[in-house]
Structure 1
């Protein structure tokens, strides 16, 4: 039986967030669009019969809002309270809401569930009912909240199934390391968003106890955007594992190159990566980017312009190259059908909002540039219940009186609400492999350290024309650019997508998490979570 809401509070159904819980000055008040300055957004439409009050696409934005200062999440890092009289892309609004160091959700509000004392003894549990009751009992130790959004407590599989979940991750990494790199290379691990440090602890404890010769060559690097969590990780890990290094920095600001082979972990992280919002003009099928405005009273507005942001444009171009179609009805590809549609009563002239993972693309480019010999292990939600309206839309959620409650809009007070997205893992895999396959650019000038494992193929490059070069479809082009001249497969194996159950059945110690009834929550739960490896 799957956990209904995954890492969020395990008991209770979500429901619509009462409007009284959203401060009035932060309610979403108006929509307007277009880049023309000929008329005001409040001007009535000439064609009231074909009038969509949500988009006002034939009206111009309020000139006052157009004149607001354009800011990014980096600009807002120095703000100690949510800004006013500014405009920004949707991804900057989300990043500021989640990660602003002064009022952001993760630095100030989020608390990762972890229970004091011994881990859950799964083999002593009768069935999943008793298991869920035990989890609820441990949650109760955090106390109750008063009116309004309280402490935002949520759990991850790392905490729920510790230490066995972390041991499964460790077994996966060590198996690959022993097969490919030991004893020529050290085991180098990077983890982003390490939370309480529990996963790193469980991984390193397992390697230390089960593979001491590997532990001696292990280097564990954490990249953590939250200063509070970075300090917590250092306090927990450094006394036990001197091989740990914690860097307080956003991965999007990473500027060091790792020349060695390494494993890169992103576990339950990319769901909180900021997305941009785009909508298509049904008259031309041209995409438009959304910008959020905040007026002097803190009220939100939104308007749409043609895509000018380089990251959004790059994502849309990549999607076209990969053959991933936009979420538009195929029938609207016909100009004559579009003309008929656009004259229908009350037909919207903008498509449903689509949330595109632009920051995820930034991560893939960072991996390619700064971690050229990495192996990515990533896990997150593949689908989510209770999302706000839109394509690939997020869940906007707060914990109220001990229960996780979903909201119906993105326009909420920054810092009080979690905002998290599902990931289309098939599209992610295609994007990832395409980005890694791109040729080197002027940004890739720093050398890559030589590997003893690669030396056998490189001398053949001088006479490769005399051999039958072979590059299997399921492997990447080698980092040194030399394909196989002997007919043997070379290059990293391309990544694959696994369900949570498939991954755990491969690497986890299933006997340690099996209940007396025969049920196994580490396999049976998290049905809407997948792995990329």
Structure 2
């Protein structure tokens, strides 16, 4: 199945990974040496989780507390440290020296676009894709090259052209000719989506292309260099910024479009569990001992980002993942937790704290943005827990999922599903708050369409007391394309098929039997726009 992108080749079992990736070597000294042989630290890949203890090991409590930023300069994974789960995930995926994305990933790239009209049906099309995968060669022993594809690469250039039609239609309706077309993209991969968008604008809308500014924010140095080589020579309007979006500090005062295409699934999550006696949340921490073994323990929530997410969730009336009986009856909770072998903590729940950081960054530095975001809404083969990730690697050309998050850093892809309906609620609530002015910056400019005197000075309901529920509260001095302060339209959630049926040229990707993989595949993907 190609509905998942990165998990279509799943097969095999965990012992396969262990067999190829465990090693233990003894360093032998020359004859006559009085020193005993020393054992090299095993190069382990899969780590068994330890059972929960009310009182964690005192040695682990005294370990140094670190963040992913603290570990960026290390060339090997750390030992004798502890960190939040999100820092462990970020270090595993993005550490510049041993992280999964800087060192392991190969993005599937079609050297030539598929000729969809030549394929008899979807089975023949999938066989052609499998043959292109096989062209990357066979893996040697140990972790193989981590190859995965995206709809951008698989349906090039038609997927990118659909995104371009979406952007240009909104731009022409609202901003042309008073504003430039300003696009930001995070995690642009090989740069294929940007190339397809800009090629389309250059050919179909040259007047818009001449006013286009395209900025890529890329955390990987290798991918940033690849994007510059692919894009900057052909499209001088491209600017590639090699940095994390979470370190962004430049105000974009103009209206802009912000693209996050299959990016947030790899955003780090925090793990929380609830005390079943009191329903108090506890934050999970990972400890790494001197041998590189992992353990977890839980403390009361003290992290500001976790606290902010839980507070926002309560504000939006998003219930925690606990049974109604546990939440409503204290007597039942007491009875249940006193049963023999009953757990005292709920199942792990993974909360998208880094996604919350992104939304806060958008509100602060991109106050007039329009977000286009797409990613997985559900995933199979996840680890145990609520909103749990898929953790997988490739061994001898076979994708191997694991049953635990705590695996050797840098060798495994870790990606999460997204609840798009809850994301929409969180996003709209955050965007509705007035953005704090960044230090040392000028106030956000008003639109050239605005009148000299803001109509909001007379009250936002001056023209009418009715305000549509699908519109945000209007900003002072910023009017819509109608010239009235009615506010921007709120974001909506679309399935993958709904979005592509609206903006794609479906004739270009239709197979001979009438099937259309552009809309038939990726049924577990949604859009927010």
Question: In structure 1, what is the Cα distance between the partners aligned to 2:12 and 2:366?
Answer: 40
Whether contact under 8 Å (1:477, 1:483) holds in the other structure is no
User: Who is 2:2 aligned against?
Assistant: 3
Query: CA separation in 2, counterparts of 1:344 and 1:490?
Result: 57
Partner of 2:401: 406
Q: Pick closer, same or farther for the CA change 1:450–1:27 going to 2, 3 Å.
A: same
Corresponding position: 1:516 with 2:512: yes
CA distance in 1 between counterparts of 2:386 and 2:174 reads 40
- Note if contact 1:190-1:223 (Cα within 8 Å) is conserved in structure 2: yes
Matched, 1:55 2:52: yes
User: Aligned pair count?
Assistant: 505
Q: Residue 17 and residue 515 in structure 1: after superposition, are their counterparts in 2 closer, same or farther (change >3 A)?
A: farther
Q: Aligned ranges for residues 266-281 of structure 1 at < 5 Å? A: 266-281=260-275
User: Structure 2: which 5+ residue stretches go unaligned?
Assistant: 23-41
Give the Cα–Cα distance (whole angstroms) in 1 for the partners of residues 464 and 199 of structure 2: 46
Q: Give the Å deviation of 1:489.
A: 6.5
Aligned to 1:68: 63
Question: Normalization by structure 2: what TM-score?
Answer: 0.92
CA offsets, 1:8-32, max 9 Å, x none?
154454654644355464543554x
Pick from 54, 78, 82 the counterpart of residue 87 of structure 1.
Answer: 82
Distance (whole Å) between structure 2 residues aligned to residue 274 and residue 361 of structure 1? 10
Partner residue in 2 for 1:364? 359
Which one of the candidate residues 161, 166, 170 is aligned to 1:167?
161
2:305 counterpart of 1:286: no
Q: Which residue of 2 aligns with 1:208?
A: 202
Query: Aligned to 1:523, what secondary structure does the other structure show?
Result: helix
Give the 3 Å change call, closer, same or farther, for CA 457–399 of structure 1 in structure 2: farther
In structure 2, the residue matched to 1:347 is 342
Counterpart for residue 446 of structure 1: 442
Question: In structure 2, do the counterparts of structure 1 residues 465 and 407 end up closer, same or farther at CA, with 3 Å as the change threshold?
Answer: closer
Deviations 1:383-414 (A, max 9, x none): 00000000000000101111211111111110
Q: Answer yes or no: is the 8 Å Cα contact 2:185–2:216 preserved in 1.
A: yes
2:180–2:212: 8 Å Cα contact kept in structure 1? yes
SS of residue matched to 2:132:
helix
Secondary structure of 1:419's counterpart equals strand
Q: 2:182 aligns with which of 182, 188, 195?
A: 188
Determine if contact 1:458/1:480 at 8 Å carries over to the other structure: yes
> For residues 49 and 208 of structure 2, what CA distance do their matches in structure 1 show?
58
Contact 1:9/1:155 (<8 A) preserved: no
Q: In 1, distance between residues paired with 2:359 and 2:460?
A: 31
- Cα 1:9–1:292 change in 2 (3 A) is closer
Which of the residues 125, 136, 141 maps onto 1:131? 125
Question: Distance in 1 between the 2:138 and 2:46 partners?
Answer: 27
Give the equivalent residue in structure 2 for 1:436: 431
Residue equivalent to 1:28: 47
- Given that 1:398 and 1:404 are in contact with CA atoms closer than 8 Å, whether structure 2 keeps it comes out as yes
Alpha-carbon distance between aligned partners in 2 of 1:22 and 1:381, rounded to the nearest angstrom: 29
CA distance in 2 between counterparts of 1:314 and 1:255 reads 21
CA contact (8 A) 1:105 1:418 kept: yes
* SS of residue in 2 equivalent to 1:355: strand
2:476 counterpart residue number: 480
Instruction: State TM-score, norm by structure 1.
Output: 0.91
Structure 1 residue 468 displacement after superposition: 3.9
CA distance in 1, matches of 2:462, 2:423: 38
- Judge conservation of contact 2:364–2:437 (CA < 8 Å) in 1: no
Among 402, 412, 415, the alignment partner of 1:417 is 412
User: Which range moved further: 432-441 or 95-104?
Assistant: 432-441
Equivalent position of 1:504 in the other structure: 500
Shift of residue 464 of structure 1? 6.5
Question: Which stretch shifts more, 158-167 or 329-338?
Answer: 329-338
Is 1:167–1:203's contact at 8 Å kept on the other side of the alignment? yes
Q: 1 CA distance for matches of 2:428 and 2:15? A: 39
Q: Structure 1: any 5+ residue segments left out of the alignment?
A: 32-53
